[in-house]
Amino acid sequence: MAYEVTATRRRPQSFENLVGQEFVASTLKNAIESKQIAHAYLFSGPRGCGKTSTARILAKALNCEKGPTATPCGECSICKEITAGSSSDVIEIDGASNTSVNDIRQIKDEVMFPPNSCRYKIYIIDEVHMLSNSAFNALLKTIEEPPPYVIFIFATTELQKVPATIKSRCQQFNFRLVPIEKVKEQLAQAAKEIGIQADDEALYWIARESTGSMRDSYTLFDQVAAFSDGNITYEKIRDKLGLVGIDRLNELFGICASGASQQALEKLDEYIQNGVSIEQLITNCADYLRNLLLIKSGVTKESLLGQAPDRFSREVLEAWSSVQIERAIDIFLKLYRDIRYSLSPRYEFELAVSRLCWLKEYASPAEVKKAIDAVKPLMAASQGHTQQAGTDRPGPAPHNPAIPQFSALQGGANPFPDGGAEPPKTNSADDVASEWENTAAYDDWPDDNPAKENTAPESPMPEANIKPVPIQDLKEALFQKLNETETMLASLIQHTQNWSDQGNVITCTIDKRYEQTQIQQHSAEISRYISQLYGKQVGFSITLVEKQNQQVEKKLPVQVELLRDTFRGTVISGA
């Protein structure tokens, strides 16, 4: 008998044999038993998880001589023909090879004829997402109202490429990846059927490499069984496929954890000289670090780790924290992305190993914050001061037993013997009153305010030997006076107009509200300067007089008006 690959030999032949798709199997079985059979089904999911096998099982269940039944016999001629793929009423079509609208037209012509020997004529279209838009549109009416003896079963690995108009006409079933434990059980059964011994560690590695696909796991199993001479072990897989085992990884990362960069680089060179590919070594290192992180988090499930937890180095687990292991994983993930564009993948790998050797010095942002928070009490203690009696010099900060001393933490003398830097000088009550005296808000204080009582007397009167400035020159004199200390205020004074003497008040006008507001804020200061310059005690007032922009309509020449009216335009400006 010709050799048959494991994936074909162990293809499921009943709903009970579907691995990892219990929801799909139970739903289809209940639909058949209750005779609620749909006219179109859409199976979607990753590769190798049983979509086409489920379609064949459903075809046998509907056409079995003892059916429709949820448990087809597999012994009648119809079941055998469907299993062998030779039934004329169960048509399997490759969607990738029949993408045109003409292929769909052929299906539309064929569905008009009833089945030859079966109860239903079933069309199984694999990779249906490969059909063109025209083909999908031509199929819409047929799958919406097919003859009662026609059933369509679509299978696809890319559900997002199937039009919504097709999805809405089908019952959809989403197939899932098979758990690693179940894949490992099926591989053990396959090894037992052909009389091969297989270690659990090797089967776990095959199951993990298949990433939940039963067909991929069977294919890899056949490859491993071919060079294992009847006994599949992880050591044989490691040597034949160029893998780095757990023992070698423990040795490499143990050296990195100790910080011996020279030994780590030499060990890496030894692995590469033995023929291990850099890409495979990076993958193995990332997988090893991921397992370390799981163990650090308390995960000991062997199906997740692929190894027994006690096989991982305790030295590495104790040397690196969870944050540092996360940092190491990030290094290798970036390394795998970078080597495809690198000048030399080996240089990149050696740099990554060198970084692992000082990984214990890496501090995460959370650890930096924690350290800063721990130093804050020390900084607060060093800045505390007490005033000594009769002097302004600050004394040393009082000892707080709840706060650790700097010398105790650092092992040296206290670097702040006199209590640290002096605090900023605060203004006295007299200084505060003096500042308020120079502002317009000071005039609004009540007379009984104690700060106002302690201030200097009102604005000084001009001295006898100073000649008073006439009203027409007062604006320029005030500008010269303010320009020495208040340049911005002096420029605002230049914009004022119409200065006049109203007895005890000097008035002026300005045409901008913002400038009026700025000058009014300094009215007390301006009044004081004016009193000095004018020769008598006077107040100051400024009034807002806005400009009136009167637009004088200019008469346009007759020729310009004619052109404007002819072309329906607008005159923007004219000479």
Report which of 77, 101, 99 is spatially closest to residue 89, judged by C-alpha positions: 77
Beta strands in 45-174 (DSSP E): 90-94, 121-126, 150-156, 171-174
Per-residue pLDDT of the chain (575 residues), as tens digits, is: 578 889 888 899 889 889 888 899 999 999 999 988 999 999 999 988 989 999 999 999 999 988 788 888 888 888 988 988 888 889 998 888 877 888 888 888 888 888 888 899 999 999 999 888 888 888 888 888 888 899 999 999 999 999 999 999 999 999 999 988 899 999 999 999 888 898 888 888 898 888 889 999 999 999 999 888 888 888 888 778 777 778 888 999 999 998 888 999 998 888 888 878 888 889 889 999 999 999 998 888 877 787 778 888 889 998 898 888 999 999 999 999 988 888 889 999 999 999 999 888 877 787 788 878 877 777 777 665 444 444 444 445 454 444 444 444 444 444 444 444 444 454 444 444 444 444 444 444 444 544 444 443 444 444 445 578 888 888 888 888 888 888 888 888 888 888 888 888 889 999 888 888 888 888 888 888 888 888 888 888 888 887 665 444 567 787 777 777 777 677 776 55
Q: What residues does 93 pair with on adjacent strands?
A: 125
The DSSP secondary structure of 3-21, one letter per residue, reads ---HHHHT---SGGG-SS-
Q: What residues does 125 pair with on adjacent strands?
A: 93, 154
* Packing angle of the helix pair 234-241, 200-209 (nearest 10 deg): 50
Q: How far apart are CA 123 and CA 151, in angstroms?
A: 6
CA 66 to chain centre: 56
Report which of 351, 353, 348 is spatially closest to residue 336, judged by C-alpha positions: 348
pLDDT of 420 reads: 46
Report which of 62, 75, 73 is spatially closest to residue 33, judged by C-alpha positions: 62
Q: How far apart are CA 152 and CA 41, in angstroms?
A: 6
Report which of 528, 545, 546, 524 is spatially closest to residue 537, judged by C-alpha positions: 528
Q: How far apart are CA 480 and CA 485, in angstroms?
A: 10
Which of 399-406's residues contact partners 24+ apart within 8 Å by CB, and which partners? 403/377, 403/378, 404/377, 404/378, 405/381, 406/378, 406/381, 406/382
pLDDT of 548 reads: 61
Provide Rg for the chain, Cα atoms: 46
pLDDT of 412 reads: 46
- In 383-449, alpha helices (H): 406-410, 429-437
pLDDT of 552 reads: 46
Provide the b/e sequence for 252-277 (b: ≥16 CB within 10 Å): bbbbbbeeebebbbebbeebeeeebe
Cα torsion angle, 304, 307, 309, 314, sign: negative
pLDDT of 142 reads: 87
Length of the chain: 575
Q: How far apart are CA 517 and CA 532, in angstroms?
A: 23
**Cβ neighbour number for residue 434 with a 10 Å cutoff:** 16
Three-state secondary structure of 283-307: HHHHHHHHHHHHHHCCCCCHHHHCC
**From edge to edge, which strands make up the β-sheet containing 539-544?**
497-501, 505-510, 539-544
pLDDT of 215 reads: 92
Q: Would you say 121 and 89 are in contact if contact means Cβ atoms under 8 Å apart?
A: yes
Q: Would you say 313 and 250 are in contact if contact means Cβ atoms under 8 Å apart?
A: yes
E strand or H helix that includes residue 498:
strand 497-501
- CB within 8 Å of 36: residues ≥ 6 apart: none
- The tokens describing 419, both together, are 């209590």
Report which of 546, 543, 569 is spatially closest to residue 556, judged by C-alpha positions: 569
- CB within 8 Å of 107: residues ≥ 6 apart: 93, 123, 139, 142
pLDDT of 533 reads: 84
Side-chain half-sphere exposure of 511, counting CA atoms within 13 A: 8
Which residue matches tokens 């085992």?
A: 245
Q: Is the pTM of this model over 0.75?
A: no
E strand or H helix that includes residue 222:
helix 214-226
Provide the b/e sequence for 464-483 (b: ≥16 CB within 10 Å): eeeeebeeeebbebbbebbe
Q: How far apart are CA 165 and CA 184, in angstroms?
A: 39
